C-alpha cells in the first residue's frame, strides 16, 4: 500500500478519477457531522483498493466533484462499504442517485459465522487481528487542517475494508454463498430508505402505539410540520420539537397559546415562534378521521395456538441453520417468524437467501403443504400429496 493521497485540488482530483474509473471495485467510507444540522455535513471521503488509498476533501472541492460522483455511481464498479446506509444517504443527497451496486460487509459477516450487525472494529479484529484505535472517534472532521494522525485514522477504515472484502469474497465462494446477498444489496438501493416523505415521519416516533387513532392524527400533523421545517432550515428535528412533546401535544391537544404554554417542558421561545401555527395544526387535525397502526405496531397479543405455531416454525429454523452452519438468529428471529405468520409485508423470510433456505418451506408449512413427523432424535418435513 502506497502513502495516503490527500486530494484537495481539482488537479489531484482529476488524477484520482483517472485511477478510479478502471477499478472493478472500490472500498469507500465517509466522515460527516450531523449534530447541528438536518442533512449530514460531508467532511471527508476515503477510497481504497489493495494498491492505493486516497482521502478526498469535499469541503475544499465543494461543487467540483461531479466526475468523482459519476464514478461512484458507475454500475460497473462495486462499492464496498460497511453499514452503508448513512454513506449512501450522503451520495443520494448530493447527486440524487444511488451508488449501485453496493457490497455491505456488515450484511455479509453473518453468512461467515459472525454475529449479526457486527461493528467495523469487530470485523477488523476478527479478520485481520488488528485492534482499531478509538482516539479520533469524536473528531470534528470539518476542521482544517487535518493532522497526520487523523488522516491515518480515516484512511485505515478503507485500507482494512479493502482487505476484508477480498477475504470475505474468498470465504463466500468456498461456501457457495457468493450470490446469497444479491437481493439484500439491491434492496439497499431503494430510494424510499433515504428520502422519507414528511407525511410518513410520524411512523418513526416511539411511544405512539399507546395513543388513540384521533391522537395519532395530531402526531402525524406535527411530525410532518417538524420534518418540513427541519429540512428547510437544515436543523436537527429535535431542536425544533422533541418527540416526547409531540406525544404530549397529541394527548393534551392545546388549541390556543395559553393551553400550549401550560404543557410541561415547553420552551417559551418555541411558543412565541411557532405556537399559533402548531395550535392551528392541532385544531385542523381534530376534525380528521383517526389513524390505525399496523398490527405489529399495535403489539397484538398472540393466542396460545399462535405461540405454538411459532414454536414449530422456530424448530424448523434451528434445523436449517444447523445444516448450513449458521446461528439460527441470523436466519430468522422470533419477530421475523411473527411477520411471516401474520402476512406482514416486507418479511425478511420472503426475500433473498433466507427465502431459499427456509422461508419458502415455512410458508408451505403454514399453508398446509407440509406435515411434520417427529421421533426422539429427529424432526422431518414431508410434502403433502396433491
Average pLDDT of the residues of the chain: 93
pLDDT for residue 137: 81
Give the model's pLDDT for residue 363.
Answer: 93
**pTM of structure:** 0.87
User: Could you tell me the CATH superfamily of domain 5-193?
Assistant: Ribonuclease H-like superfamily/Ribonuclease H (3.30.420.10)
Q: Report the DSSP pairing between strands 370-375 and 102-104.
A: unpaired
Query: What is the spatial order of strands in the sheet that 41-48 belongs to?
Result: 5-7, 53-56, 41-48, 25-33, 78-81, 102-104
Strand stretches in the chain, DSSP E: 5-7, 25-33, 41-48, 53-56, 78-81, 102-104, 370-375, 378-383
d(CA 84, CA 272): 40
Q: For 288-294, what is the mean pLDDT?
A: 91
Average pLDDT (37-47) is 97
Higher-confidence position of 369 and 385: 369
Residues in Cβ contact with 179 at an 8 Å cutoff, skipping those fewer than 6 apart: none
Please report, for the chain, the start and end positions of each structural domain, with discontinuous segments joined by +.
5-193, 198-286, 299-383
| Fold: same for 198-286 and 299-383 | yes
- Does the domain made of 299-383 have the CATH classification 3.40.50.300? no
| Cβ(97)–Cβ(73) below 8 Å | yes
198-286 is a CATH 1.10.10.10 domain? no
- The predicted pLDDT at position 345 comes to 78
pLDDT value at position 134?
A: 83
- Residue entry with cell 473528531: 139
Q: At residue 43, what are phi and psi to the nearest 5 degrees?
A: -115, -30
Residue 294 confidence (pLDDT): 75
What is the SS3 assignment for 78? strand
Q: How many residues does the chain have?
A: 386
Amino acid at each position: 500500500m502506497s502513502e495516503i493521497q490527500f486530494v484537495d485540488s481539482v488537479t489531484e482530483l482529476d488524477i484520482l478519477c483517472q485511477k478510479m474509473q478502471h477499478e472493478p471495485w472500490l472500498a469507500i467510507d465517509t466522515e460527516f457531522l450531523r449534530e447541528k444540522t438536518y442533512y449530514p455535513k460531508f467532511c471527508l471521503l476515503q477510497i481504497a483498493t489493495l494498491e492505493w488509498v486516497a482521502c478526498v476533501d469535499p469541503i475544499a472541492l465543494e461543487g467540483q466533484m461531479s466526475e468523482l460522483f459519476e464514478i461512484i455511481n458507475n454500475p460497473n464498479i462495486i462499492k464496498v462499504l460497511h453499514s452503508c446506509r448513512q454513506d449512501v444517504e450522503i451520495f443520494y443527497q448530493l447527486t440524487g442517485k444511488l451508488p449501485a451496486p453496493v457490497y455491505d460487509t456488515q450484511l455479509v459477516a453473518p453468512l461467515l459465522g459472525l454475529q449479526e450487525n457486527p461493528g467495523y472494529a469487530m470485523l477488523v479484529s476478527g479478520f485481520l487481528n488488528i485492534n482499531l484505535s478509538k482516539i479520533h472517534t469524536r473528531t470534528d472532521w470539518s476542521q482544517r487542517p487535518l493532522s497526520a494522525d487523523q488522516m491515518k485514522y480515516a484512511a485505515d477504515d478503507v485500507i482494512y475494508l479493502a482487505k476484508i472484502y477480498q477475504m470475505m469474497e474468498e470465504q463466500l465462494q468456498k461456501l457457495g454463498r457468493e450470490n446469497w446477498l444479491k437481493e439484500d444489496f439491491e434492496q439497499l438501493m431503494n430510494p424510499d430508505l433515504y428520502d422519507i416523505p414528511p407525511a410518513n415521519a410520524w411512523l418513526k416516533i416511539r411511544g405512539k402505539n399507546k395513543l388513540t387513532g384521533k391522537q395519532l392524527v395530531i402526531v402525524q400533523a406535527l411530525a410532518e410540520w417538524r420534518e418540513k421545517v427541519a429540512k428547510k432550515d437544515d436543523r436537527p428535528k429535535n431542536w425544533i420539537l422533541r418527540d416526547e412533546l409531540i406525544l404530549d401535544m397529541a394527548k393534551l391537544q392545546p388549541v390556543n397559546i395559553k393551553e400550549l404554554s401550560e404543557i410541561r417542558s415547553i420552551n417559551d421561545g418555541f411558543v412565541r415562534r411557532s405556537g399559533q401555527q402548531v395550535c392551528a395544526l392541532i385544531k385542523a387535525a381534530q376534525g380528521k378521521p383517526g389513524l390505525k397502526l399496523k398490527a405489529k405496531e399495535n403489539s397484538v397479543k398472540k393466542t396460545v395456538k399462535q405461540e405454538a405455531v411459532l414454536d414449530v416454525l422456530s424448530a424448523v429454523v434451528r434445523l436449517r441453520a444447523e445444516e448450513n452452519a449458521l446461528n439460527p438468529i441470523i436466519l430468522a428471529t422470533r419477530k421475523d417468524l411473527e411477520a411471516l405468520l401474520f402476512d406482514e409485508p416486507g418479511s425478511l423470510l420472503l426475500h433473498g437467501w433466507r427465502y431459499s433456505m427456509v422461508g419458502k418451506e415455512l410458508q408451505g408449512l403454514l399453508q398446509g403443504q407440509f406435515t411434520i413427523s417427529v421421533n426422539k432424535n429427529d424432526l422431518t418435513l414431508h410434502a403433502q400429496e396433491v
